[in-house]
Structure 1
Amino acid sequence: MENVLVCDFSFEHICDIAPDKEIEGNIKAFYPQNQYDNPNDLLLHKYGIGPFCKFSIPRELRRKGVYLIKIDGDIKYVGECENLASRFNTGYGNISPRNCYAGGQTTNCRINNEIYNHSLNTNNIKLYFYETTNRFEVEWELINTLNPSWNKSKGKKMERGNSIDKLTIFSEPVSHQKSTCREEVLTVVRTIVKNKGVNEFTIYEVVESMLRERTSFKVSTIRTHITSKCCVNAPSHHAVVYSDFERIDKGLYKLINDEPN
């Protein structure tokens, strides 16, 4: 089974996404909106025109986590799910007539149409999955790090429950006057550790706090400092490195340098 490592998360290859085809080998095009009775004279939403395709994944994949859609090696979309099979088999892969109209599931229609259009030119559409109970956090980190072209939002921050509750208490402001990225990261990490009462933090917690304080640094730069440039047990890829953090678990770090230098 093919696995890919994306931002320290190991995603397994679930299957190739293969839309239904005609006998001649062409992708079947569907226009389910024509089957809707539409008693209220609703208008089609901007993604409801189609054409659409039909596809499915194994029904036994009732798993919770984060998925990737890759086309010819490029990550096009990152999403989270409570049930992977349901998300693809009754969501993306089978567009209901009602969902094409105002108030319907626009994301389902948009992703399906993207898959249809790309299927006309390639068979290399792959689905990858990472099983986790922290799916909102992982989704948020990947979207904000990778900026996949099909993602229109930055993730479901308000649905993270306890994670977001913890983040709201990190209110100590970050000074941006002539500060380096390392200095800002260290300031935020010290505040996070202090408020949590335990010496551990995640990349998401640091990025979220810095973005909230309107940092000028990119998410990718912040992430590189945490995972590589300032991490003692990371591979050495930089001319100048610091011994600020230690990776203690997947996506989890602790502060080992509590004094600025």
Structure 2
Amino acid sequence: MYVKIGDREFSFYRVDLDILKTGIQDIFSHFDKKTIRELLLQPRYKNIKDIFESNYKQFLDYPAGEVLFTLKKNKDPVYKLFLNNYGDLVYSQFVVKGNESLLNKSGLYMITVDEELVFAGVCANSFKLRFNQHIGNISPKCCYKDGTATHCHVNAKITESLPKGKVYFKICPMKNMDETKKVKNAIINRFEPIWNLRFGREELYS
């Protein structure tokens, strides 16, 4: 398929998803690289540092994932303060299949569900790396405030769409990242992909 922006046409090549596992929950609970005390030293958590150190002292030196999962099981919503807005959803693990020479390039990509454009994004590294190791394989750290909310958001939306729709990635190799971002923003402005709009303006123009 191709997309026409102004007087230029951009060709997109479809790649298929191979779903390895779905219905994955509580990924954040497996994060054991830092304790709660260590996590609270990071700038993204400064707003909750005093609250947690005052009211949850007993948890400070335990692995963050273990603590947050305990709080969740105890129905204490404070655990969500450590996670990004999409860090406690249901995810899938998947890889993409297609032309390897294209997948090893960088550029612009779109996601379609039943041929409706729902998301547009940019890969500064290879498509294969972004899809297989990041979007398609959500890590525990990804779920936290200083993780990658975009990957959580997109994976969760794909997971939600899988039972009832055909999901594809479509890639357009491009070398110039400044141009790639401009084309992405033009596509978003023109087609208003619903997943971009729900994620917010930070994602639209990043």
Please, what TM-score do these two structures have when normalized by structure 2? 0.64
How many equivalent pairs are there?
Answer: 148
- Unaligned 5+ runs, structure 1: 22-26, 157-261
- Unaligned 5+ runs, structure 2: 37-63, 65-80
- Determine if the alignment matches structure 1 residue 55 to structure 2 residue 55: no
- Determine if the alignment matches structure 1 residue 143 to structure 2 residue 188: yes
Higher relative helix content: 2
Name the CA distance, whole Å, in 2 between partners of 1:14 and 1:73: 11
Name the CA distance, whole Å, in 2 between partners of 1:53 and 1:87: 15
Deviations 1:93-132 (A, max 9, x none): 011101111211111101100000111222x111111122
Name the CA distance, whole Å, in 1 between partners of 2:26 and 2:168: 24
Post-superposition offset of 1:6: 4.6
- Determine if the alignment matches structure 1 residue 72 to structure 2 residue 70: no
Deviations 1:44-83 (A, max 9, x none): 2221102111011246512121111000111000011122
Residue pair 1:19, 1:28 contacting (<8 A) in 2 also: no
Q: Which has the higher contact order (CA 8 A, sep 6+)?
A: 2
Q: Counterparts of 1:1-261 in structure 2 under 5 Å?
A: 3-7=1-5, 8-21=8-21, 27-37=22-32, 38-40=34-36, 41=64, 43-58=82-97, 61-82=103-124, 83-122=126-165, 124-132=166-174, 133=176, 134-151=179-196, 152-153=200-201, 154-156=204-206
Please, what TM-score do these two structures have when normalized by structure 1? 0.52
| 2:24 alignment partner, SS class | coil
Larger Rg: 1
C-alpha change, 1:128 and 1:115, in structure 2 (3 Å) is same
What amino acid is aligned across from residue 65 of structure 1 in structure 2?
A: G
| 2:3 alignment partner, SS class | strand
| 2:92 alignment partner, SS class | coil
Q: Give every structure 1 segment of 4 or more consecutive aligned residues whose post-TM-superposition deviation is greater than 4 Å.
A: none
Residue pair 1:65, 1:130 contacting (<8 A) in 2 also: yes
What amino acid is aligned across from residue 168 of structure 2 in structure 1?
A: K
RMSD: 2.1
Post-superposition offset of 1:10: 3.2
